[in-house]
Amino acid sequence: MSKNMRMQFFSHEWAALEDDAKANQIVDAYQSHMNAFPGSLGRKVRRFVSKHSLNGALLDHLRIYRKSRKVELVLVAGDQQVGYSRLALNYDFSRFIGVTHMQLSNILSRRNVVIRFDEFGHSRKSKPYASQTAVHRFLLWFLKFSGTVDRCERAIWLRRTQAT
């Protein structure tokens, strides 16, 4: 799997850490990483992260506008305490890395996929924070009809976005 596809901070291994101090170090490192995003992109990313938790969000549907390279990802997010709502994420100048449109279509057609973790980063192909470009990575889990969770390492996908 390409290094650009892997979750940099919030992986299955991070969730399984038994050492709270080590887990908290990673959370602190991600916070420092988030604070390093410059300018308007940094403000938008930090505002998004502070307002929305995508952990456990159900992937509802996806619209791909190939000509304009726009993607709309619709999620059902929330919990019993705050309530549930639809959240539409719109990405401009998008491309998928690590998954084909057909694979993504098959994943979404099951309607049993949740986001375990998400994180923002930058493309390793360019200098960190050199442009107003970000990568939004998702670590997905497939829910089985029995309600158990099937761990899926290969279902990591990400979106490359440009601030508008």
Q: CB-based contacts of 103: which residues, under 8 Å, 6+ apart?
A: none
Q: pLDDT per position in the chain (164 positions), as tens?
A: 455 567 889 988 998 999 999 999 999 999 999 998 888 888 888 999 998 889 989 888 878 787 877 888 888 888 888 888 888 888 876 666 666 767 777 766 666 778 889 999 875 554 544 456 788 888 888 765 443 343 433 333 333 344 43
| DSSP helix/strand/coil, 162 | strand
d(CA 56, CA 75): 10
What proportions of the chain, in percent to the nearest 5, are helix, strand and coil? Answer: 25, 35, 35
pTM of the model: 0.73
